[in-house]
Each structure stands twice: as C-alpha cells, then as structure tokens.
Amino acid sequence: MSDLAQLQKRLGYAFRDETLLQRALTHGSYLSLPGQSETRSNQRLEFLGDRVLGLAAAEWLFAERGEADEGDLTSAFHPLVRKEACAHIAEKMGLEPHLLTGAIETHGSKTRVSILGDACEAVLGAIYLDGGYDAARGVFERFWIPEADNLSYTEKDAIVILHEWALKRFRKAPDYITIGQTGEAHTPVFEVEVRISDIAPALGTGRSLKQARREAAEAFIKREKLRER
C-alpha cells in the first residue's frame, strides 16, 4: 500500500482507523491474486457510501434550490451521484495510484470508470464510519459542490429521461425490480426489469444495480422511441 498520508491530506480528513481507508481502496478483483483470498474488498463500504452520497447530495440540493419541485431536484440529483461522476471525483481525490486491483491496466474504459466510481463511494462510506456524517458531508462539500457544473450531463442519463417521462405521463416514477443475480460474490451480474404502468417491462444487466437499472431504462427508451418524441 502506497503512503496514504498525502491522500488523507487531499481528502481533508485524517482517519483514526486507517484500515477503513485501505479497505475502501481494495477492489474485489484484488482478492483473486495469490495470497489475497482473506482480504476484504470495498463492496460493503461502497454500498454504504452510495447511500451517504445520496443523502449529502439530496440535502445540499434541497437547501440550494429552495423553489425547485421534486422533478427538478431529481434531474439535478442524478448527475451528482452517477458512477461517472464518482469516477471524476475519484480522479480529483487522486485515488487511482492507491487502488489495489487485479490487473486494472487490462480493463476497458467502462470497467475503469466502475472501479474508480466504486472506490470513491467506498471512501465516503469509510469516512462516515470513521468520523460520522458531518465528516462525510464535509468531503462532499469539498469535492462535489465545486464540480457540480462539470458533472452535468452532456446527454440526459437514461434513468433521468425515463423518470421525467413516467412522471409526466403517469404521475408515477418507474419501478426497478431486481429479478436475478449471477456470477461470483466479488464479480456479480445483476438483472433488473423496469416497469411502468401496464407497458411491457424492459430488462437490463450490469455489474452493479445502478448499471443494470440504467441499461433497463435505456432499453425501455429505445424500444418506446422516447428520445424521438
């Protein structure tokens, strides 16, 4: 593990339990390397950090946009918390040199984004466990808020498009149902259906629930030709 002191300085947070930070930087692929089968990956911290990030982003938007309605808040929320945004923040944090992975250099760009995004969420989860919500919110304010404009979509995310369309037509958000999971524990593949009213559902798959939901939304949009309306 490379020196973590400079990383903590960039984060603006000093860990009391540095093993939490080390775990946050350990991708599941690292466990497949010889002698690492007992090492703990960052998956649980990623799960927690995703929720911490969602709360911090929602809280900030709620205060920042006092006149915005639910639809506008949702549209502003997704760009802050999507995987690509977290990967961008991970680069700002300087996480990549500290990551423990299995041959990350052989992965494609999408996998790299996923690994960086997961690590970013895991670090936020680790900070929450080590220092509480205020500490985690402080890191959100340090990194996400200055980058908010840079995290906006060049093209609207499929989940946002479908959410806005469903609210407008049915006054109800889409339902995302997890219907299956395959693969090893550290490399799962999820299957998700998106359901809206009595319209035929659409299926998406991905290495995370977020990705599977986005793929399902994209499949629904393409089939129903929503971008053409």
Model pLDDT for residues 74-130, shown as the tens digit of each residue: 778 888 998 889 999 999 999 988 988 776 544 445 577 888 999 999 999 999 999
Q: 118 a known binding residue?
A: yes
CATH of the domain at 116: 1.10.1520.10
pLDDT of residue 154: 45
The predicted pLDDT at position 229 comes to 56
pLDDT category at 22 given cuts 50, 70, 90 is very high
The widest CA-to-CA distance across the chain, in whole angstroms, is: 55
List, for residues 31-87, the tens digit of each pLDDT value. 666 655 556 789 999 999 999 999 999 999 999 988 888 877 877 888 899 888 999
Active site annotation includes 191: no
Active site residue 157: no
Lookup: tokens for 1: 């593990």
Do residues 101 and 172 share a domain?
A: no
Rounded CA-CA distance 42/135 in Å is 19
Which whole number is the average pLDDT over 182-208? Answer: 89
* Structure token pair of residue 36: 């690492």
Domain C-terminal end among 100, 124, 151: 151
Q: At 204, which helix (H) or strand (E)?
A: strand 199-206
Active-site residue, from 121, 193, 215, 218: 121
Quick check: 137 pLDDT over 70? yes
In a shared domain, residues 222 and 139? no
Judge whether residue 220 has pLDDT over 50. Answer: yes
46 is in an annotated binding site: yes
Structure pTM? 0.66
Among 123, 151, 179, give the residue marking a domain's end: 151
| Cα dihedral 177, 228, 206, 114 sign | negative
pLDDT score, position 1: 44
Q: Verify that 207 and 163 share a domain, yes or no.
A: yes
Please give the pLDDT value at position 186. 74
58 in Cβ contact with 77 (< 8 Å): yes
Residue 84 is assigned to a ligand binding site: no
What is the rounded distance in angstroms from the CA atom of residue 130 to the CA atom of residue 161? 37
H helices of the chain, where? 5-11, 18-24, 43-64, 70-81, 83-93, 109-131, 133-143, 158-170, 209-224
Look over the chain and give the mean of its residue pLDDT values, rounded to a whole number. Answer: 86
CATH number where 182 lies? 3.30.160.20
Count of domains in the chain? 2
- In angstroms, the CA 130 to CA 49 distance is 12
Structural domain for 63, as ranges:
5-151
Region class of 13: left (phi > 0), else alpha (psi between -120 and 50), else beta: beta
> Same domain for 146 and 163?
no
